[in-house]
């Protein structure tokens, strides 16, 4: 069977549990003078602009929580965070949670209409940040107010006495395969991240964790802040404009021992760094999440830096739950294994039985499910009870990832069910096609998608970025076709190969597969 475990078997959180207290209080008491947060805002070789001890973080968060309590909002009131990439963001985020309210972080890169739609969905009691031009009637606080309360507030409140199942934060999915969907998490969600500490990070209090994302990205709030702090480690966040060339210098200059980024950034670092060995100072290894890590990138990174990249698979509804680590490296082609304590299974793509369908045999292709007893799992989709119910398959929760699990428990990710292509009546995973073609020389990136060329006709098309913009794309197309004939069944082979300048991605670096249809149309290929 493809089942790993019969339910979550790790330790469960206490009944009374506050997420912000869990992340900060222990380190503030045990090592108050240790550096908890380094903010990078200067030049690459002398980059530090702010340094916060754990005691200072604890004080700032509880001062801001006291400022929120003064509004007399009810417990669970939503606090909408529309702040930029500054230290005010985590203070407001963890301060809202410390006060027993629900933090709603949004990216500063969203357009005004996008922000308005999310704000209308969240129905917040307070909006922090933004210009306020479109909703003068909404109660607001500025970034400057946050800083003032955090650094010089007169009051210092205790962490709210919340239950583990009380809501703590609400995030909206990136909408790469549809409109943004609200995901509501409980305080216990941070306890549910504990299996990552050993089976992805291999983290200790001595580590210095540099995250490539901005403060206002949920990947950063969890992997870059909550997890290091809960382990007494130092979090390092960059607020300067981010370019691929700067990261090796920052990794060395900050003494980072762990570095977290999306796969696309690792590829860009390798591309723009000088050729040959790459000195990354004290770095022990890199952490990769957000999308599939190409094996070619992992191999080149290891060869040039002498360190490994460890990938992880997760989703907004539970964060990462399958990963590799120094003690449990991934088998080639796999993401890794279920983190110890977690329970996962492969379920049928379509099953109408009342129990959600029996897990499939080892090696079978299907929907990846995580056991609903996992404390890291969300409370539900915000105001979308039908969607929440649809994702539940008996004892399992399925977020839409396609995967297989071999007899030894190694998980191979096959993309998203939303992206599944139909070729001659067969279901085809775009990731499987991409994996077969990525080894072709002369390209830096490649993605495939099902493209509609007529009202009733669709084909599989491959979009590639040439390594040499002035090279011959026809030669690359021929090489891709030749590789497809060797590695892919006929029905899986792309029927069109299109050279493009870059792949369409979200602000956080994830592939926007749905945008490939527009690129195909722009080139007039479906005329």
**DSSP alpha helix (H) spans, 371-429:** 385-391
β 396-405/366-371 pair status: antiparallel
**Helix/strand/coil for 522:** helix
Average pLDDT value for the chain:
90
DSSP state string for 57-95? HHHHHHHHHHHHHTTTPPTT-EEEEE--SSTHHHHHHHH
Cβ proximity of 96 and 105 under 8 Å: no
Which tens digit of pLDDT belongs to each residue from 276-313?
999 999 999 999 998 888 888 999 999 999 999 999 99
Residue 255: pLDDT band by 50, 70, 90 thresholds?
A: very high
Residue 241: pLDDT band by 50, 70, 90 thresholds?
A: confident
Cβ proximity of 500 and 465 under 8 Å: yes
DSSP state string for 461-472? EEEEEESSTTS-
CA 388 to chain centre: 20
Task: For residue 179, give every residue at least 6 positions away whose Cβ sits within 8 Å of its Cβ, in sequence order, or none.
Answer: none
Q: What distance in Å separates the CA atoms of residue 56 and residue 58, rounded to the nearest whole number?
A: 5
Query: What one-character DSSP code corresponds to residue 347?
Result: E
The better pLDDT of the pair 13, 133 is held by 13
Which tens digit of pLDDT belongs to each residue from 313-328?
999 999 999 999 999 9
Q: What distance in Å separates the CA atoms of residue 268 and residue 275, rounded to the nearest whole number?
A: 13
Number of residues in the chain: 527
| Lowest-pLDDT choice from 38-47, 54-63, 274-283, 315-324 | 38-47
Cβ proximity of 218 and 316 under 8 Å: yes
Residue 400 pLDDT greater than 80, yes or no:
yes
Residue 357 pLDDT greater than 90, yes or no:
no
User: Quick one: pLDDT at residue 355?
Assistant: 62
Q: What distance in Å separates the CA atoms of residue 212 and residue 262, rounded to the nearest whole number?
A: 8
- pTM value is 0.85
| Lowest-pLDDT choice from 61-65, 215-219, 351-355 | 351-355
**164 φ/ψ angles, rounded to the nearest 5 degrees:** -60, -30
Task: For residue 125, give every residue at least 6 positions away whose Cβ sits within 8 Å of its Cβ, in sequence order, or none.
Answer: 71, 73, 77, 78, 79, 101, 139
User: Quick one: pLDDT at residue 188?
Assistant: 98
**Helix/strand/coil for 126:** strand
β 285-288/308-315 pair status: parallel
User: Quick one: pLDDT at residue 521?
Assistant: 76
Percent share of the chain, pLDDT over 90: 69
Nearest alpha-carbon partner for 210 in 63, 25, 86, 38: 38
Residue 490: pLDDT band by 50, 70, 90 thresholds?
A: confident
Task: For residue 440, give every residue at least 6 positions away whose Cβ sits within 8 Å of its Cβ, in sequence order, or none.
Answer: 446, 476, 479, 480, 483
Rg (CA), the chain: 23
Q: What distance in Å separates the CA atoms of residue 171 and residue 120, rounded to the nearest whole number?
A: 14
Alpha-carbon separation of residue 320 from 12, 263, 288, 317, 338 (angstroms): 18, 15, 11, 9, 9
Query: What one-character DSSP code corresponds to residue 501?
Result: S
Q: If DSSP states are collapsed to H, E and C, what string results for 179-207?
A: CCCEEEEEHHHCHHHHHHHHHHHCCCCCC
Which tens digit of pLDDT belongs to each residue from 428-465?
888 889 988 988 999 989 999 988 877 667 889 999 99
Nearest alpha-carbon partner for 503 in 475, 471, 468, 462: 462
β 234-238/35-43 pair status: parallel
Task: For residue 299, give every residue at least 6 positions away whose Cβ sits within 8 Å of its Cβ, in sequence order, or none.
Answer: none
Which tens digit of pLDDT belongs to each residue from 88-142?
999 999 999 999 999 999 987 788 888 888 999 999 999 999 876 556 567 899 9
The better pLDDT of the pair 332, 45 is held by 332
Residue 259 pLDDT greater than 50, yes or no:
yes
Residue 180 pLDDT greater than 90, yes or no:
no
Mean of the pLDDT values across residues 7-23? 97
């Amino acid at each position: 069977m493809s089942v790993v475990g019969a339910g979550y078997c790790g330790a469960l959180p206490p009944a009374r549990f506050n997420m912000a207290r869990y992340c900060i209080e222990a380190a503030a008491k045990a090592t108050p003078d240790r550096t908890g947060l380094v903010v990078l805002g200067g030049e690459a070789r002398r980059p530090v602009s702010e340094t916060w001890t754990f005691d200072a973080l604890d004080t700032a968060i509880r001062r801001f929580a006291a400022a929120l309590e003064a509004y007399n909002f009810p417990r669970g009131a939503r606090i909408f965070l529309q702040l930029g990439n500054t230290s005010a963001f985590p203070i407001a985020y963890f301060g809202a949670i410390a006060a027993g309210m629900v933090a709603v972080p949004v990216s500063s890169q969203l357009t005004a209409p996008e922000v308005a739609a999310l704000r209308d969905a969240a129905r917040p009691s307070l909006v922090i940040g933004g210009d306020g031009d479109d909703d003068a009637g909404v109660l607001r606080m500025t970034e400057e107010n946050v800083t003032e309360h955090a650094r010089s507030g007169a009051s210092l409140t205790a962490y709210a006495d919340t239950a583990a199942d009380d809501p703590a934060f609400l995030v909206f999915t990136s909408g790469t395969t549809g409109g943004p969907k609200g995901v509501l998490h409980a305080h216990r969600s941070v306890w549910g991240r504990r299996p990552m500490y050993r089976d992805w990070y291999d983290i200790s209090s001595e580590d210095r964790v540099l995250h490539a994302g901005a403060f206002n990205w949920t990947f950063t709030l969890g992997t870059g802040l909550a997890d290091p702090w809960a382990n007494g480690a130092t979090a390092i966040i960059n607020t300067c404009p981010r370019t691929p060339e700067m990261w090796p210098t920052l990794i060395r200059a900050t003494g980072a021992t762990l570095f977290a980024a999306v796969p696309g950034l690792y590829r860009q670092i390798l591309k723009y760094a000088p050729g040959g060995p790459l000195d990354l100072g004290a770095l022990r290894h890199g952490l990769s999440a957000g999308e599939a890590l190409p094996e070619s990138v992992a191999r080149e990174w290891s060869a040039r830096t002498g360190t490994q990249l460890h990938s992880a698979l997760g989703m907004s509804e539970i964060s990462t739950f399958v990963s590799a680590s120094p003690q449990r490296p991934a088998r080639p082609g796999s993401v890794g294994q279920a983190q110890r304590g977690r329970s996962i299974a492969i379920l049928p793509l379509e099953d109408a039985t009342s129990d959600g369908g029996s897990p499939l045999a080892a090696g079978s292709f299907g929907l990846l499910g995580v056991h609903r007893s996992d404390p890291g799992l969300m409370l539900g989709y915000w105001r979308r009870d039908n969607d929440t119910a649809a994702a539940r398959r008996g004892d399992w929760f399925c977020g839409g990832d396609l995967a297989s699990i071999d007899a030894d428990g190694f998980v191979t990710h096959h993309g998203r069910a939303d992206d599944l292509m139909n070729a001659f009546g067969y279901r085809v995973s775009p990731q499987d096609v991409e994996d077969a073609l990525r080894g072709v020389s002369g390209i830096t990136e490649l993605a495939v998608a099902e493209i509609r060329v007529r009202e009733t006709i669709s084909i599989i098309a491959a979009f590639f970025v040439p390594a040499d913009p002035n090279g011959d794309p026809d030669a690359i197309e021929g090489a891709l076709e030749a590789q497809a004939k060797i590695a892919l069944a006929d029905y899986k082979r792309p029927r069109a190969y299109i050279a493009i300048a870059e792949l369409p991605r979200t602000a956080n670096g994830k592939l926007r597969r749905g945008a490939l249809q527009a690129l195909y149309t722009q080139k007039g290929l479906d005329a």
